[in-house]
Every structure is written in structure tokens, then in C-alpha cells.
Structure 1
Amino acid sequence: MYTTIQKWGNSHAIRIPKTILEMIQLHENDTVELTVKDGNLIIAPAKRHRTLQERIAEYQEDYHCSEWDTGKPSGKEVIE
């Protein structure tokens, strides 16, 4: 598929056909990352940070905190 680079204000833009956006599951106003690798322009979805609520939803109740042995002191660590 081909498209044309066009002037858009002080920048330039390309139009991405709806079928391409659907294939890569991007929508209007989504944030993307632009990189150049070996002379090719790569447009990829920006990595979205998960919210605290999303992280808590993944919490598994079988996890229990515990101490672990880091070995004997080897330098000038303070031991109380």
C-alpha cells in the first residue's frame, strides 16, 4: 500500500488507512512512538504504563513476603 507525504502546518504528515489501523489495533488520538532503524521509519504503539488499579487487579493472594539471606558482610556495612 502506498501513501503520500503532505504538508500539515509547519510539519509533514501521512494518512494511515483505516484498514491498517484496525490491523494494528490503533485508534484516533492513540500515542505512537516513531523510530528510525536502518533508514526505515517505524511507527509503533507507545508503551502504556499500567495504572495502580490494573496492577492490584493482577495481585495473587498466594504471595507472602519473607526475608532472605544476603550473605556475610564483606566491607564496612553497618550491622545493628
Structure 2
Amino acid sequence: MVATISRWGNGHGIRLSRSVMEEAGLSVSDKLDVIVQKDYSILLRRLPKTKAERFMELFGDYKGDWRCQESDTGEAVGKERFE
């Protein structure tokens, strides 16, 4: 797809076709992270909409054995001791 940079109010913007939006899984009001590479190419990455979506993006493919457990860090020092 070829896009042209246009004036948009006090800024600039490009329009994306419906097919590009659908192919990229984007919808209106999605937030994008814009990354300029060293070769001056531009990478657009959709930011997660929710904390849960961000969590799944980071850890969704984790297959290890995870269990919540307490760890002993030694004797209490200072005011972190609860009684």
C-alpha cells in the first residue's frame, strides 16, 4: 500500500485502507507505538488495550510450572515485621 502524508489540523497523518486495518487487526481509536528504525523505516505496533491483554502479550506463551509460594528472606530487620 502506498500512503501520502497529509496535513491534519496542526499535525500530519496518513490514512490506512480498510484492508490494511483488517489485516493488521486494528480498529478505530487503537493506540500505536511508533518506532523509527536506524534505517529510517517506521514500525507501528498496536499497544494492548487492557492490562490483561498486556500480561498475555508478555507471558501468554509461558509453558513452565509456576506455583505461588512464600520465600524466606531471613530475619526481620527494621519495621517490616508484622505481629
What is the TM-score when the length of structure 1 is the normalising length?
A: 0.61
Q: Which residue of 1 is the match for residue 15 of structure 2?
A: 15
Paired residue type of 2:18 = K
In structure 1, the gaps of 5 or more residues are 56-62
Q: Which residue of 1 is the match for residue 6 of structure 2?
A: 6
Q: Which residue of 2 is the match for residue 30 of structure 1?
A: 30
Q: Which residue of 1 is the match for residue 47 of structure 2?
A: 46
Paired residue type of 2:23 = M
Residues matched between the structures, number: 65
Give the structure with the higher percent helix. Answer: 2
Identity %: 26
Question: What do you get for the CA RMSD once the two structures are aligned?
Answer: 2.8
CA 65–18 in structure 1, closer or farther in 2 if over 3 Å, else same: closer
CA distances 1:13-43 after superposition (whole Å, capped 9, x unpaired):
1001110110111100111111101211111
Which one has a bigger Cα radius of gyration? Answer: 1
Paired residue type of 1:17 = S
In structure 2, the gaps of 5 or more residues are 57-65
Paired residue type of 1:23 = E
Secondary structure in structure 2 of the residue aligned to 1:19: helix
CA 69–21 in structure 1, closer or farther in 2 if over 3 Å, else same: same
